[in-house]
């Protein structure tokens, strides 16, 4: 197992270097001069040249590549072109909001999807099953930004049940009130996918011979479904829940803008508009690191859920 983990960590670094290289080249190739955008209406060639020299934009590409990579590896972050602040401070101030939103959204997704998928599989081909599958299809097809706007219109503007915006404190009544609508927006689409996968996995397990044997022994249906069937159907569900992290990242970018949630997604959008290369590169690498880390955690959870997976990996 240790060799497997070390190999995965090595691959993580390879992936992160690849992501950094691609993002760096895309930033350089993108149209627009960061110094020109930073100057605004007060732009003049002399001041723009001073800014480009100060930010190192006149250096050769390989020098810029090495300098930026070194600053990230040593955590000596550069300053943002737009905000004139240390990128590390900007990210540290907004990262907790994005993590908080993501965790709540995944919680919403799991709480909706797993029970719905289990019940749908148990009531296969019933009206409950049909309603669940239709609802999940609607959830998959509904764009996050549209759902977010509809939730704002109904629950914030009309009913006034929830607040929107950036809370002063996350773990507070205000924080949970303001995170509810964006979390539902993010969690709904993921819940639809997870529910369908849970149903499919449960249907495959329920038809296995050991499930019929458990029933023949006189075990209650609750024990058969929850203890025997559900645990063995859990591996693909854990996989898809873990792999939903990239969807959280992608959805959070638009969702944070729609709800005025001052997290990394909103910072990312504003930085792209300003060609703020240090923020773009740092934020993208942080997102990529989160994705590969979650994938590693999901792989390790396999051996906890099913000991046979651990044995197979150690033996290979």
Residues of the chain with pLDDT under 50: 311-316
State the Cα–Cα distance between residues 52 and 287, nearest whole angstrom. 28
The pLDDT score that the predictor gives to residue 310 is 52
pLDDT of residue 315: 41
- The pLDDT value recorded for residue 313 is 46
Q: What is the pLDDT of residues 78-94, one digit of tens each?
A: 888 888 888 888 888 88
> Six-digit token pair at 15?
């992936």
Give me the pLDDT at residue 109, please.
85
pLDDT score recorded for residue 305: 62
Q: Identify the CATH assignment for 88-315 out of 1.10.10.60, 1.10.3720.10, 1.10.260.30, 3.40.50.2000.
A: 1.10.3720.10
The strand pairing partners of 79, in sequence order, are 86
Structure tokens that stand for 115 in this block: 């029970």
Residue-level pLDDT at 160: 84
What backbone torsions phi and psi does residue 160 show, to the nearest 5 degrees?
70, 25
Q: Whole-prediction pTM value?
A: 0.76
Question: What pLDDT, on the 0 to 100 scale, is given for residue 307?
Answer: 58
The DSSP string of the chain is -HHHHHHHHHHHHHHHHHHHHHHHHHHHHSSS-HHHHHHGGG--HHHHHHHHHHTTTTS-HHHHHHHHHHHHHTT---B-TTT-SBHHHHHHHHHHHHHHHHHHHHHHHHHHHHHHHHHHHHTTTSHHHHHHHHHHHHHHHS-HHHHHHHHIIIIIIIS--S--S--S-SSSHHHHHHHHHHHHHHHHHHHHHHHHHHHHHHHHHHTSHHHHHHHHTT--HHHIIIIIIHHHTHHHHHHHHHHTHHHHHHHHHHHHHHHT--SHHHHHHHHHHTT-HHHHHHHHHHHHHHHHHHHHHHHHHHHHH-HHHHHHHHH-
Domain with CATH 1.10.3720.10 in the chain: 88-315
Tell me, what's the pLDDT at 311? 43
In the prediction, which pLDDT does 2 show? 73
pLDDT of residue 21: 92
């Amino acid at each position: 197992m240790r060799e497997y983990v070390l190999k995965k960590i090595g691959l993580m670094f390879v992936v992160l270097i690849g992501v950094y290289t691609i993002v760096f080249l895309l930033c350089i190739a993108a149209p627009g001069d960061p110094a020109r955008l930073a100057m605004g209406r007060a732009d003049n060639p002399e001041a723009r040249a001073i800014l480009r020299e100060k930010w190192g934009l006149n250096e050769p590409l390989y020098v810029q590549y090495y300098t930026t990579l070194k600053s990230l590896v040593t955590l000596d972050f550069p300053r943002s072109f737009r905000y004139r602040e240390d990128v590390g401070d900007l990210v540290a101030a907004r990262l907790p909001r994005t993590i908080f939103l993501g965790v709540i959204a995944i919680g919403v997704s799991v709480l909706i999807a797993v029970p719905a998928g289990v019940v749908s599989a148990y009531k296969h081909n019933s009206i409950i099953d049909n309603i669940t599958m239709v609802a999940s299809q609607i959830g998959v097809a509904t764009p996050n930004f549209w759902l977010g706007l509809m939730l704002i219109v109904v629950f914030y503007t009309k009913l006034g049940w929830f607040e929107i915006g950036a809370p002063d404190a996350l773990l507070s009544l205000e924080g949970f009130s303001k995170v509810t609508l964006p979390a539902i927006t993010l969690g709904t689409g993921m819940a639809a996918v997870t529910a369908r996968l849970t149903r499919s996995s449960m249907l495959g397990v329920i038809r296995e011979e050991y499930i019929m044997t458990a029933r023949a022994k006189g075990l209650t249906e609750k024990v058969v479904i929850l203890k025997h069937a559900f645990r063995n159907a859990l591996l693909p569900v854990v996989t898809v829940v873990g792999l939903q992290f990239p969807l959280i990242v992608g959805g959070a970018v638009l969702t944070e803008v729609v709800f005025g949630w001052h997290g990394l997604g909103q910072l990312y959008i504003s930085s792209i508009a300003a060609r703020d290369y240090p923020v773009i590169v740092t934020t993208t690498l942080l997102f990529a690191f989160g994705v590969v880390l979650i994938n590693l955690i999901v792989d390790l959870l396999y051996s906890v859920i099913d000991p046979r997976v651990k044995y197979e990996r150690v033996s290979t």
